[in-house]
């Protein structure tokens, strides 16, 4: 038996396909991306090594990059905070009711499996000035005319512009189900003995939640938060489909759309790679930070 | 005695009120979730002129033409077929490769297994954006851009981390005695994998398959970069044609949205519990 399980040839055969794919499609391209990011590389032009020029330009001269960084970080913080609160709140509510728990759970999770590209189109329509929400507000008499209502997706004033805030709420609507689901799984895994003991000691529901449930699901909070953080840094589909390209200029970029525009519209592959590398580093740092400060060893 | 029953009934009364509030809140939220989706379906059967005047009313006569327009003129028919091909092949290969690697990591004995698992897990943190440009350059030189195989390969790779992670958990859960008795019966390691491991991890396959199917069905960025030919576009890419200030036929756009989300809605309705299980199985141990 032992000999069978130590069969080197079999192990290599089992691991090889996944390992080779990983190396060819992830590891080598990442190394290449890092190399490109130090080069002046445009489509149909030879590659020229230019050192850190791309990064210098990215962080000092590029106004779109500043907006993209600002918007992406806003997305990330917003989604970490709101998804944590809403997700945990929904999970707590749903674990406390008996009838219809599965129904509600499935409804709230539904948008997570739908295409954000399609949902982006839907929400773009709902927030169009002349139609959707503004028309509803006008028909209720809250605003005189639907064109006078808020320009949900076209207002470019303020530090964080309105379209970005609107999109982050849409993202919350779409993805909160995932956080909820993760927290629910963890909560239902907590042994009922602990709750019974707490009930005998006369704890209130609020006390039980803060003193028992919350500490016990801390490992899951870390997992859900890092998923949210990475997901919101990678954010592309909703922004791309809800804000018509180039409509708001540089202000409505996030890192992913900025990279896409630079690399595949302006053909600046080296410059785009630099943005991709920044994105990767941000993902890694955020995951490490969350795991360091939120995660603890699981209680048994 | 009577005082005690009174406190209990007061307490019951309070819980009832609290539960009433909870249900009211949950129902309102459910409406916020379902209303936009229902509205898309209704609007997709309308005429643009009617939509502008009364966006909230039911259509007098359903306009099925919107669907046939989106299906043929919007090239959504081809796009749906492409999406199906891409997702099915990806699903098959990511499950086979993922299960093989997971089996070796979970059940076989070798020194580097933890390290290799970590290598695969790092893949979960890597955004597709970072490898997009080098892959694009590489694949164009290999003449793989504008082919379905060119997006299938990255899709398989990006489905692997979560597949391996979940399948490792499932294989670890299979008791070692089963493999031992198979060994006594004279099974080779490959037969052990196919006749003991794979059938017992059926739930795992179900779960990972669904997750990879849904994720790849919705993937936009990579498909958009790699594919520019109309005949090879996948659904999310074809949908982007309907964006923009110059595209004004909203009802057709809504028909297109419905076409794009219906397959995942069906898959979700049938397999909701497995998807949920998979999501949690994958994350609980993390």
Average pLDDT of the residues in B101-125: 89
Q: Does A36 touch chain B (CB under 8 A)?
A: yes
Q: What's the pLDDT at B1?
A: 46
Average pLDDT, chain B: 85
Chain A touched by B115 (CB under 8 Å): no
pLDDT beyond 90 at A272: yes
pLDDT of residue B250: 78
Tell if the CB–CB gap between B36 and A117 is shorter than 8 Å: no
Q: Is residue A207 a part of any domain in this protein? A: yes
Asked which of A291-295, B211-215, B219-223, B264-268 is least confident by mean pLDDT, the reply is A291-295
Which pLDDT does position B283 carry in this prediction?
55
Q: What is the dihedral of CA B99, A288, A296, B208, to 10 degrees?
A: -20
Interface check for A240 against chain B (CB to CB < 8 A): the answer is: yes
Band (B243; pLDDT cuts 50, 70, 90): low
Q: Is residue A19, in this structure, part of any structural domain at all?
A: no
Q: Where are the domains of chain B?
A: 2-43, 75-284
Average confidence (pLDDT) over B233-262 = 81
Nearest to B218 among A102, A116, A224 (CB): A116
Q: Do B131 and A100 touch (CB under 8 A)?
A: no
- Written in H, E and C, the secondary structure of chain B is CHHHHHHHHHHHHHHHHHHHHHHHHHHHHHHHHHHHHHHHHHHCCCCHHHHHHCCCCCCCCCCCHHHHHHHHCCCHHHHHHHHHHHHHHHHHHHHHHHHHHHHHHHHCCCCCHHHHHHHHHHCCCCCHHHHHHHHHHHHHHCCCCCCHHHHHHHHHHHHHHHHHHHHHHHHHCCCHHHHHHHHHCCCCHHHHHHHHHHHHCHHHHHHHHHHHHHHHHHCCHHHHHHCCCHHHCCHHHHHHHHCCCCCCCHHHHHHHHHHHHHHHHHHHHHHHHHHHHHHHHHHHCC
CB contact under 8 A, A21 and B33: no
- Position B190 scores a pLDDT of 87
Please list every residue in chain A whose beta carbon sits closer than 8 Å to the beta carbon of residue B213: none
Domain count, chain A: 1
Q: What is the pLDDT of residues B145-157, one digit of tens each?
A: 899 999 999 999 9
Query: Model-level pTM greater than 0.80?
Result: yes
CB contact (8 A) between residue A244 and residue B52: no
Q: How many angstroms separate the CA atoms of A41 and A124, rounded? A: 35
Spatial contact of A183 and A87, defined as CB atoms under 8 Å apart: yes
Domain range for A128: 38-293
- Provide the ipTM: 0.88
Percent of chain A with pLDDT over 70: 96
- Report the pLDDT averaged over residues B191-197: 88
- Residue B28 pLDDT level (bands cut at 50, 70, 90): very high
What tokens were used for B277?
A: 């299980």
CB contact under 8 A, A237 and B56: no
> Over pLDDT 90: what percentage of chain A?
38
Higher-confidence residue: B15 or B163? B163
Backbone torsions φ then ψ of B272, nearest 5 degrees: -45, -45
Chain B contact present for A234, CB below 8 A:
yes
Interface test with B, best of A13, A27, A107, A113 (most B CBs within 10 A): A113
Q: Does B89 touch chain A if contact means CB atoms closer than 8 Å?
A: no
Any B CB within 8 A of A247 CB = yes
Any CB–CB contact under 8 A between B194 and chain A? no
Q: Which residue has the higher pLDDT, A125 or B94?
A: B94
Chain B from 45 to 84: CB within 8 A of any A CB: 51-52, 55-56
A296 close to B (CB below 8 A): no
The pLDDT of residue B246 is above 60: no
Q: What pLDDT does A298 receive?
A: 47
Determine what percent of chain B is predicted with pLDDT higher than 90: 34
pLDDT at A300: 40
The reply to whether A165 falls in a domain is: yes
pLDDT band at A295 (very low <50, low <70, confident <90, very high): low
The residue of B130, B175, B183, B248 whose CB has the most chain A CBs within 10 angstroms, and thus the best one to mutate to test that interface, is B130
Average pLDDT over residues A27-41: 93
pLDDT value, residue A99: 86
Q: Is residue B268 within 8 angstroms of chain A, CB to CB?
A: yes
Work out how many CB contacts closer than 8 A connect A with B. 271
The answer to whether the Cβ–Cβ distance between B261 and A115 falls below 8 Å is yes
What pLDDT score was predicted for residue B131? Answer: 93
Nearest to B125 among A100, A139, A230 (CB): A230
Question: Residue A44 maps to which CATH number?
Answer: 1.10.3720.10
Quick one: how far is CA B75 from the chain centroid? 23
B128 and A CB contact within 8 Å = yes
Identify all chain B residues contacting A25, using CB atoms and an 8 Å cutoff: 131, 135, 153-154, 157
Residue A72 pLDDT class (50, 70, 90 cuts)? very high
Give the pLDDT band of residue A155 (cuts 50, 70, 90). Answer: confident
Task: Check pLDDT > 80 for residue B221.
Answer: yes
Q: Which range, A43-47, A270-274, B259-263, B273-277, is most confident?
A: A270-274
Which superfamily does B75-284 belong to?
MetI-like (1.10.3720.10)
Q: Is the pLDDT of residue A283 over 60?
A: yes
Give the range among A181-195, A251-265, B77-91 with minimum mean pLDDT.
A181-195
For residue B285, name the pLDDT band (cuts at 50, 70, 90): very low
- Determine the average pLDDT of the residues in A27-37: 94
């Amino acid at each position: 038996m032992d000999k069978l399980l130590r069969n080197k040839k079999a192990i290599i055969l089992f691991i090889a396909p996944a390992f080779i794919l990983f190396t060819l499609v992830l590891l080598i391209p990442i190394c290449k991306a890092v190399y490109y990011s130090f080069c002046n590389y445009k489509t149909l032009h030879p590659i020229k090594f230019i050192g850190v020029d791309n990064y210098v330009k990215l962080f000092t001269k590029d106004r779109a990059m500043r907006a993209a960084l600002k918007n992406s970080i806003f997305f990330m913080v917003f989604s970490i905070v709101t998804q944590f609160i809403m997700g945990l709140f929904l999970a707590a509510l749903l674990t406390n009711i008996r009838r219809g728990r599965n129904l509600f759970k499935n409804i709230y999770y539904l948008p997570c499996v739908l295409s954000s590209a399609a949902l982006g189109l839907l929400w773009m329509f709902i927030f169009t000035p002349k139609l959707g929400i503004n028309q509803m507000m006008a028909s209720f008499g809250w605003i005189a005319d639907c064109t006078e209502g808020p320009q949900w997706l076209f207002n470019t004033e303020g530090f964080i512009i309105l379209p970005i805030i609107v999109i982050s709420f849409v993202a919350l609507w779409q993805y909160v189900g995932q956080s909820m689901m993760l927290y629910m799984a963890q909560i239902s895994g907590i042994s009922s003995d602990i709750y019974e003991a707490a009930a005998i000691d006369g704890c209130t529901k609020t006390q039980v939640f803060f003193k028992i449930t919350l500490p016990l699901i801390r490992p899951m909070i870390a997992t859900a938060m890092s998923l949210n953080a990475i997901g919101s840094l990678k954010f592309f589909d909703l922004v791309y489909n809800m804000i018509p390209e180039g409509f708001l200029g540089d202000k409505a970029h996030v890192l992913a759309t900025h990279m896409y525009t630079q690399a595949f519209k302006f053909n600046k592959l080296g410059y785009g790679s630099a943005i991709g590398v920044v994105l990767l580093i941000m993902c890694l740092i955020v995951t490490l930070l969350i795991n360091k400060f939120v995660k603890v060893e699981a209680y048994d | 005695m009577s005082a005690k029953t009174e406190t209990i009934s007061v307490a019951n009364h309070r819980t009832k009120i609290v539960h009433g509030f909870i249900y009211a809140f949950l129902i309102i939220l459910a409406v916020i979730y379902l209303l936009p989706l229902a509205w898309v379906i209704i609007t997709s059967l309308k005429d643009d002129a009617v939509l502008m005047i009364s966006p909230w009313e039911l259509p007098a006569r359903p306009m099925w033409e919107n669907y046939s327009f989106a299906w043929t003129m919007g090239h959504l028919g081809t796009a749906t077929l492409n999406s199906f091909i891409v997702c099915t092949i990806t699903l098959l290969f990511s499950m086979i490769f993922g299960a093989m690697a997971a089996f070796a990591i979970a059940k076989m004995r070798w020194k580097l297994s933890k390290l290799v698992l970590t290598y695969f897990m790092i893949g979960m943190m890597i955004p597709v954006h970072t490898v997009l440009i080098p892959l694009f350059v590489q694949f164009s030189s290999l003449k793989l851009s504008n082919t379905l195989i060119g997006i299938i390969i990255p899709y398989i790779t990006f489905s692997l981390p979560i597949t391996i992670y979940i399948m490792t958990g499932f294989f670890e859960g299979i008791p070692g005695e089963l493999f031992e008795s198979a060994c006594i019966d004279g099974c080779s390691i490959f037969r052990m994998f196919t006749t003991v491991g794979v059938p017992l991890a059926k739930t795992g396959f179900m779960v990972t398959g669904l997750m990879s199917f849904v994720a790849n069905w919705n993937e936009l960025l990579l498909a958009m970069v790699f594919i520019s030919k109309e005949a090879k576009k996948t659904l999310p890419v074809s949908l982007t044609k309907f964006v923009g200030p110059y595209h004004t036929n909203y009802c057709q756009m809504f028909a297109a949205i419905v076409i794009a989300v219906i397959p995942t809605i069906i898959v979700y309705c049938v397999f909701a519990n497995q998807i949920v299980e998979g999501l949690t199985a994958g994350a609980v141990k993390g």
